[in-house]
A and B are shown apart, each in its own frame.
Chain A
Amino acid sequence: MQSTSTILSMLNEVLTTELTSINQYFLHARMYKNWGFNTLNDKCYKKSIMDMKQADKLIERILFLEGLPNLQRLGALSIGEHTVEMIKCDTGVQITQIEQMKTAIALCETEKDYVTRELLTEILEHEEEHLDWLETQDYQIQNMGIDKYLQAQL
């Protein structure tokens, strides 16, 4: 089934963000693991795998719409040096991605591509949940202090 070029280029941009996000969370997960913060490792690892599944759905959708998924393009990673910075970097990435998803969903609406919209809405839901988790961590660090917070992540 053919689609418009605007929908396809938007889907490729969303795919680029997802592919970048996979690497970002994978590296952060393994950095946490290296420092022994297993709770944080699990959370970031699962987020990375979730992004991989979302990227898979996007690739399938682009191919279905007779486009070519661009797996070559990758955005810049935002990697922190320590836990607080890593959470801050991830928050920044999530906020940008949520903005992008909202614009993409609005485009689906104007182009009347309701199936793509549903796919993107599902992704947006997961991204919002992760942003909420990041905000919770930030709140805990502010209130518990970084030492106690990190002790709880062992």
Chain B
Amino acid sequence: MGVKVGVLAIQGDVREHRRMLEALGVEVAEVRLPQHLEGLAGLIVPGGESTTIGMLSREYGLEESIRARLEAGSLAVWGTCAGAIWLAKHIPQFPDQPRLGCLDITVQRNGYGRQVDSFEADLCIEGFDRPFPAFFIRAPRILGVGEGVEVLASFEGSPVLVRSGKIWASTFHPELTSDARIHKIFLEACGR
């Protein structure tokens, strides 16, 4: 009932997440500054360029405010692609890349190659009765997950959809499809 969900709108495919959430009947806010987090039960960090998103979130105080909300347990967060990189605790190639880093996973940026190697594939996701159409675009590869991180889907041996409590990450882009199943279960984690 009546949860409000934000999309981090520094840069990236904000519109696609917004469209998906609105189709599911939730109120959506675009988050560019810390005050935009007020009243939100959940936040989606979209696909885009992880360096840009990380840098500007830090500069404008969003990283700090989101961390505080997560520590208080009052916000659910889901990162897709670049968003998953932003949440990752370990990025061995770029250890100093600005990010939230609160999800215990190890990622390799562009882990499947450059754009010419980007691909689409059908995924089996835990709890879903039919495959999910997934788009991997210069996607990060999850090399490992820490204790307490649940793997909901894998592709070619690497996890692609994971969660740890209220923190979710996918290395693909459900928002580019017309299949709202993952958005729907994320909204449940937001308390809807």
A interacts with B: no
Interface residues of B (CB under 8 A from A): none
